[in-house]
Structure 1
Amino acid sequence: MQLQIENLSKTYPNGVQALNDVSLTIQQGMFGLLGPNGAGKSSLMRTIATLQEPDSGTIQLGDINVLTQKDEVRKTLGYLPQEFGVYPKVDAETLLDHLAVLKGITNRSERKETVKALLQKTNLYDARKKNLGGYSGGMKQRFGIAQALLANPKLIIVDEPTAGLDPAERNRFLNLLSEIGENTIVILSTHIVDDVKELCSDMAIINLGRVLYQGSPSKALEAIKSRIWEKRVPKPELEALRNTHTVISEKLVGGVPVVHILSDGYPGADFEPVEGDLEDVYFSYIFGEKVEA
């Protein structure tokens, strides 16, 4: 099964064009959707999840027309939105059981076994009687995945799932996603490059509602090989450098800016070559010139 998105566009009543002729082909496995805040990621996810209508374009999930067969999509969809609310005074087992009923699992014994299995899978079984208001951020995210896995979905969408998690919770969550992605389509929408680098065999970069790149992380890295250069730059010289070079990133190290630039040849001025990583790919598309991959 694959998800085929073609020529999708969406402009909101306030005039903001969230999606601009988006086309993507997403196969089974983990797919990373990278982009800064406001790039259009959540708008795309909400459209795929049948929560809003596009102005134009098509979405096909296998033999299901996502835009006209919404009930069929919802039967096979697991969705963890960026803002996932819970009932704070309800325990995890009770709420997951209730959500299972809404998902169509009406047989009591089947539902009991399903809820137990999902709580164990997400490492929440020992805390199943604890009210959700007492859960940590990572535990709430794992509960969100548990509810998204109800009824064995063929498509799972997770929107900015690791934002705000501490490193240990992030690792647990990413390991769980990786396991899930072996047998279904999982779309991981994020602005955190490392999440995609560690999990996804296919990815896309989106900004200002447009798809700038789709392909494997390895292919993207090959496109910037020997093209990333680094230099420590005194702050007073930084603005002049931006005017003469394609600066794709800058960070302070010991109070001094360290910049990465994109250049096909030696840019001079004491720059040193460095091995580019997926973060450099990301910044090359978002802040630099388009990379031919």
Structure 2
Amino acid sequence: MEKHPRGLTIRNVSKTYANGVQALHNVSLDIPPGMYGLLGPNGAGKSTLMRTLATLQEPDEGQLFLGDIDVVNQKEAVRQTLGYLPQEFGVYPKASAEELLDYFAVLKGITNRAVRKETTEALLNQTNLWDKRKQKLGGFSGGMRQRFGVAVALLGSPQLLIVDEPTAGLDPAERVRFLNLLSELGENSVVILSTHIVADVAELCTNMAIINQGQILLEASPLEAVAALKGLIWRKLTDKQALPALEQEHQIISAKLLSGRILVHVYGPDRPGNGFEPAEPDLEDVYFSAMTGCFGPAREQAKAELIGL
């Protein structure tokens, strides 16, 4: 019987560690089948949420469902249909890619030798590692190791695939190869891409959420979120010494070096003043607008608090 992709439902999930750090605060998300980006800085709570979804830890509060499977109370059922590529994972450096993938296939329950051979060959081809199948994993580049990690995660045709910070440390060519591989995976399952790199989400994901300090700041499709900022982003090239004055006068969402000067992006409905010109918004503007409270639920909450005053 053909498997039908099942979405993820996350309701009011919170997690506080023993040291008092609240990693997740009342997180609720609806994640449909396809590529879903979870975007936020390091320490935002992304890995905590990924580990919870992967049944490696339990939340203090809240519920998580993969279709009709209760993630907290039916861990084994989740694991049967889960693929997980953590931010860091170990390999046996003296084993070849073919040998280790075969070993992991046995652990996944693929005990028939012919089926296992067919499965591992298909995955090594899919991840573009077939020509390197005899090579020892200790000699793999960072991108090749990540692709091998995806091959392991795809054993058993998972309905939920979690990929945590997959492109960190990859060179540009390896990153492109890896993103091309990921783009093919969202057709038959829920694929969650957890990252702090805005471009990864912009290039791959049809839906996303922005998280910071354990709270969801924005949940939207990247295209809709960018469209919602049209006419609200302004830019200006300035010098470093002029930046403090601009920060006093305007709602600056980002400032970055460009050809020795600083390119400032400002959020607002009206032209900020002399020297500013309209900027075509992109997902980076969405990210920084959400992080600074200009855009999304944080902005609405701030407005409500002001009205309350």
The correspondence for 2:31, drawn from 19, 26, 29, is: 26
Task: Give the residue type in structure 2 aligned to 1:257.
Answer: I
Aligned-pair CA distance for 1:66? 0.3
Aligned-pair CA distance for 1:39? 0.7
Question: In terms of mean alpha carbon deviation, does 251-260 or 53-62 score higher?
Answer: 251-260
**CA contact 1:248–1:288 (8 Å) conserved in 2:** no
Q: Which residue of structure 2 aligns with residue 273 of structure 1?
A: 278
Alignment partners' CA distance in 2, 1:213 and 1:193: 14
Q: Which residue of structure 2 aligns with residue 91 of structure 1?
A: 96
Alignment partners' CA distance in 2, 1:54 and 1:210: 14
Q: Which residue of structure 2 aligns with residue 261 of structure 1?
A: 266
Q: Which residue of structure 2 aligns with residue 68 of structure 1?
A: 73
Q: Which residue of structure 2 aligns with residue 5 of structure 1?
A: 10
In the alignment of these two chains, the number of paired residues is 293
Question: In terms of mean alpha carbon deviation, does 239-248 or 183-192 score higher?
Answer: 239-248
Q: Which residue of structure 1 aligns with residue 51 of structure 2?
A: 46
The reply to whether residue 286 of structure 1 matches residue 291 of structure 2 is yes
The reply to whether residue 237 of structure 1 matches residue 245 of structure 2 is no
Q: Which residue of structure 1 aligns with residue 131 of structure 2?
A: 126
**CA contact 1:247–1:288 (8 Å) conserved in 2:** no
Aligned-pair CA distance for 1:132? 0.2
Task: Give the residue type in structure 2 aligned to 1:154.
Answer: Q
Alignment partners' CA distance in 1, 2:76 and 2:106: 16
**CA contact 1:262–1:288 (8 Å) conserved in 2:** no
Task: Give the residue type in structure 2 aligned to 1:129.
Answer: K
Alignment partners' CA distance in 2, 1:37 and 1:239: 26
The correspondence for 2:114, drawn from 84, 109, 115, is: 109
Q: Which residue of structure 2 aligns with residue 226 of structure 1?
A: 231
Q: Which residue of structure 1 aligns with residue 303 of structure 2?
A: none
Task: Give the residue type in structure 2 aligned to 1:237.
Answer: A
Aligned-pair CA distance for 1:223? 1.5
Provide, for residues 106-145 of structure 1, a one-character-per-residue CA deviation record: whole Å limited to 9, x for no partner: 1111111111110111111111111100001000000000
Aligned-pair CA distance for 1:33? 0.7
Secondary structure of 2:62's aligned partner: strand
**CA contact 1:229–1:273 (8 Å) conserved in 2:** yes
Aligned-pair CA distance for 1:167? 1.5
Q: Normalising by structure 2, what TM-score?
A: 0.93
Alignment partners' CA distance in 1, 2:293 and 2:254: 9
**CA contact 2:238–2:261 (8 Å) conserved in 1:** yes
Aligned-pair CA distance for 1:239? 1.4
Aligned-pair CA distance for 1:15? 1.0
**CA contact 1:91–1:128 (8 Å) conserved in 2:** yes
Alignment partners' CA distance in 1, 2:21 and 2:58: 15
Provide, for residues 270-290 of structure 1, a one-character-per-residue CA deviation record: whole Å limited to 9, x for no partner: 211110100110011113423
CA RMSD of aligned residues (A): 1.2
Alignment partners' CA distance in 2, 1:282 and 1:256: 22
Aligned-pair CA distance for 1:244? 2.1
Q: Which residue of structure 2 aligns with residue 16 of structure 1?
A: 21
The correspondence for 1:59, drawn from 56, 64, 72, is: 64
Aligned-pair CA distance for 1:243? 2.1
For residues 134-145 of structure 1, the aligned pairs below 5 Å read 134-145=139-150
The reply to whether residue 176 of structure 1 matches residue 154 of structure 2 is no
Alignment partners' CA distance in 2, 1:127 and 1:235: 49
The correspondence for 1:148, drawn from 124, 147, 153, is: 153
Secondary structure of 1:180's aligned partner: coil
The correspondence for 1:37, drawn from 12, 28, 42, is: 42
